[in-house]
Structure 1
Amino acid sequence: MNITTLEKIGVVVRDLDQAIEQHATYLDTTEWTTNDCTDDRLSAMVSYGRRSAGTYRTAFGRAGGNVPFELVQPTGGETPFSHFLLSRGEGIAYLTVRAEGADEASIASHFGALGIRAAHTHVVDGDVRRTFWDTREALGGYLLEVLPAPYAATGEVRTLDGEALRGGRTPLPMQQVFHFGVVVDDTLATLEQYRAILGIESFAVKTWQTEHGRLDNPYYRDLRPVQHGYFTAQGSTGDFGFEIIQCTYGPAHYNREFTDQRGPGIHHLFPYLTTDSADWAQTVEAMTALGAPLCMGSDLRGGASEYAYFDTFDRLGGFLIEGVHRRFPAEDRYMAPDWVVDFRTRVEED
């Protein structure tokens, strides 16, 4: 499949109205298209090959005009949303992507050839079919919804005053999704699945650990500095990317507050990058005042940059937001990956 566009970040929440307000506060997502998907609007519902029934409410909005969120509150019965909420809690349950030049038949054929079944399918208003493919084990704890055409939101529009909700403070800048951070048990074993399902051919592999030039001064909560490490691979498809993360040692948000509680999944998204120290300081100050301080991070690459996670987990619906401040160009020895996994060099087996 030729994946071109991220159409939705599917976040399952307990209370849709509260989640909309929180997203307006922190991300300045002030216009939402909402739908109440009741029994009379839903048909042909199938979960894991069984006839099922369920209902939900949704709201679609774009943070910063570029980052597309669909917030979903299960309201009854069996849906992929109720399953996620009851088994894992709030969080990013699925990604909706567009496959250029595909249709429903070719999308189904693609997943069928890989042995991936539909976790759930249903029809909205007798017209729009939603199918969620069961990529949880293959990709790391989330489903995929693949569209053959751009998503066009329809429904009742709701507008909020984000500036008033923030008390005039600065929202977290949302530029684009540079990557999703997916925490898994085995990074290298997962990469083949990202190639097969999403068509990503190349990954830059890097080990991050407490040492100069990698994690120069890492912290996690009140552990300053903390001794920890993680093994990552980064690749991209269409207009977004992935960072596949495997914890190697020590306490981190990845394990202590995420996989220890819920297993593999989408831990964070990275939408904010700045080279302006004043902008970085202002954003950190504003988010801290709003109740989302930095909870984990470090100087990187010999102090050339800093990464950090804003603690939005309980506010936005089960995920963190990463920001990066680039201070100056890093030396080449610190920028280089440890190696590159390039599936275009695969050797055919006899």
Structure 2
Amino acid sequence: MTNKIPVDDLHHVTVVTRDARATALAHADFYDIPEWKVVDYTPERLKRTSIHGRGPSSNMKPEAIGNASPPGVFGFRSVRGVSRTTGVTFEIIQPLTGQSTFEHFLATRGAGVHGICISRVTRAEISGLRAFLAENDVPLAMTYAVNDDVDFYYFDTRATLGGYYLEVIVADTTNWADTVPADNVWDFSDQMSQDAGVQPPRRIKGVGHFGVVVPDVEAAITRYAKLFDEPIWRLMNWRTEEWLLEDTTTNGVEVKHAFYAARGNVGKTPLGVTIGFEVIQPLWGPSHYKEDFLQVVGPGIHHLDLAFPVQDWDEWDKFNRFMKDDFHAPMCMSGWLRGRIHLYHYQDTRQKLGYVVEVHAPDPGNPPTPGGAEHYWYDFSAKADI
């Protein structure tokens, strides 16, 4: 009996956009991914399609719907690229026709992280997972296939986990991606920057965590704990205060603010990289989480925390100059943590990549702080004797 969402790898991060080529080029430049596999999933090629439990309609006459696709009929372009360092994979989706979850996400929120794929199950296992998720208020939003080797299931975790979908690959073999042939291959080798400032993200080791912004962090992590069967979570109360969170900025302006940040890990990749979430609730004061994200598009994946080494402060300065002047992605939020022993930046890469990235400065070598953020541990498996 299935009692959790299985996590076996970070198969890919799905980003929806109106211009797949431009978004793929930006990812190629930033992450050092020169080659991209292009597949056009046209309505004629797709099999076993559904959208919110409904199949393609045969009741609509062409003269009634004009040039629009019949209900349940959709198509899109998939552009898939793999980092040459540790295999971090991005799937860029450009909707082409019909009302898919891709098109709906893009129409209601704009370009961004539609979802993540961290699960592959066999055909014998998918029915149990569907039943478990349905019991926990997670409906099946969309399905499709192009052959008999692999099906793609998208579960609607927007209300339960915070504004994004979980994609599950249904295949009996691990080489499922090879069963879908490419229609084209885009090679951006001659269009990628050689600037020294872009070298750090090209050494990416993985995604440290997915930063999800929600209106109620405790309610959200209660559901994360249930769905992933991960009972232990840590909640931090970060706020602008000496020794705690200092020199805080939002969009280049010095501010004072506070937020909750809950951390939990749900699995690891085959290379041992942790797959985790940071679930964030803005509290008071201006922040990129609140005014630029939650109040604009609602809950969702705000940022990807990028695990890459920065050699020294000279390279850190070059990286920041490149981000601002060449990549046109200025810093949108920052702060020093725990008595200035750690500096984080958020870079506003939404126009280029579709999401914000979190990056970390080199170790400044400062002594440990005498205090720290209040933190609260949650154990959702603990039973009350009442």
Q: Same fold (TM over 0.5)?
A: yes
Give 1:152's aligned residue: 177
Give 1:249's aligned residue: 284
Q: Aligned letter for 1:168?
A: D
Q: Aligned letter for 2:266?
A: T
With over 3 angstroms needed to count, the CA separation of the structure-2 counterparts of 1:258 and 1:86, relative to structure 1, is: same
Q: Aligned letter for 1:74?
A: P
Give 1:231's aligned residue: 260
* Greater displacement, 146-155 / 15-24: 146-155
Q: Where do residues 287-302 of structure 1 align in structure 2 (5 Å cutoff)?
A: 287-290=323-326, 291-302=328-339
Q: Where do residues 200-239 of structure 1 align in structure 2 (5 Å cutoff)?
A: 200-224=230-254, 226-239=255-268
Cα distance in structure 1, aligned partners of 2:144 and 2:177 = 18
Following superposition, the deviation at residue 213 of structure 1 comes to 2.2
Following superposition, the deviation at residue 113 of structure 1 comes to 2.8
Give 1:165's aligned residue: 192
Match of 1:71 among 89, 92, 105: 92
Normalising by structure 2, we get a TM-score of: 0.83
* Greater displacement, 168-177 / 39-48: 168-177
Give 1:15's aligned residue: 19
Q: Gaps (5+ residues) in structure 1?
A: none
Cα distance in structure 2, aligned partners of 1:124 and 1:330 = 57
Normalising by structure 1, we get a TM-score of: 0.91
With over 3 angstroms needed to count, the CA separation of the structure-2 counterparts of 1:125 and 1:218, relative to structure 1, is: same
Q: Gaps (5+ residues) in structure 2?
A: 56-71, 269-274
Q: Where do residues 27-176 of structure 1 align in structure 2 (5 Å cutoff)?
A: 27-51=31-55, 52-63=72-83, 64-98=85-119, 103-147=125-169, 150=174, 152-153=177-178, 154=180, 155=182, 156-161=184-189, 164-171=191-198, 172-173=200-201, 174-176=204-206
Following superposition, the deviation at residue 34 of structure 1 comes to 1.3
- 1:229-279 deviation line (CA, Å, top 9, x unaligned): 111100111121100000001111111111111100000000135463333
Cα distance in structure 1, aligned partners of 2:371 and 2:140 = 43
Q: Aligned letter for 1:327?
A: P
Give 2:63's aligned residue: none
The aligned length equals 346
Contact 1:41 1:126 in 2 (8 A): no
Cα distance in structure 1, aligned partners of 2:247 and 2:195 = 33
Cα distance in structure 1, aligned partners of 2:224 and 2:364 = 32
With over 3 angstroms needed to count, the CA separation of the structure-2 counterparts of 1:206 and 1:41, relative to structure 1, is: same
Following superposition, the deviation at residue 66 of structure 1 comes to 3.0
Following superposition, the deviation at residue 181 of structure 1 comes to 0.4
With over 3 angstroms needed to count, the CA separation of the structure-2 counterparts of 1:214 and 1:62, relative to structure 1, is: farther
SS at match of 1:231: strand
Cα distance in structure 1, aligned partners of 2:248 and 2:352 = 24
Q: Aligned letter for 1:227?
A: K
With over 3 angstroms needed to count, the CA separation of the structure-2 counterparts of 1:348 and 1:143, relative to structure 1, is: farther
Cα distance in structure 2, aligned partners of 1:311 and 1:330 = 31
* Greater displacement, 304-313 / 212-221: 212-221
Larger Rg: 2
Q: Where do residues 331-342 of structure 1 align in structure 2 (5 Å cutoff)?
A: 331=368, 334=371, 338-342=375-379
Give 1:303's aligned residue: 340
Cα distance in structure 1, aligned partners of 2:30 and 2:217 = 31
SS at match of 2:253: coil
Match of 2:9 among 5, 10, 14: 5
Following superposition, the deviation at residue 298 of structure 1 comes to 0.8
Give 2:300's aligned residue: 265
With over 3 angstroms needed to count, the CA separation of the structure-2 counterparts of 1:333 and 1:58, relative to structure 1, is: farther
Cα distance in structure 2, aligned partners of 1:273 and 1:192 = 30
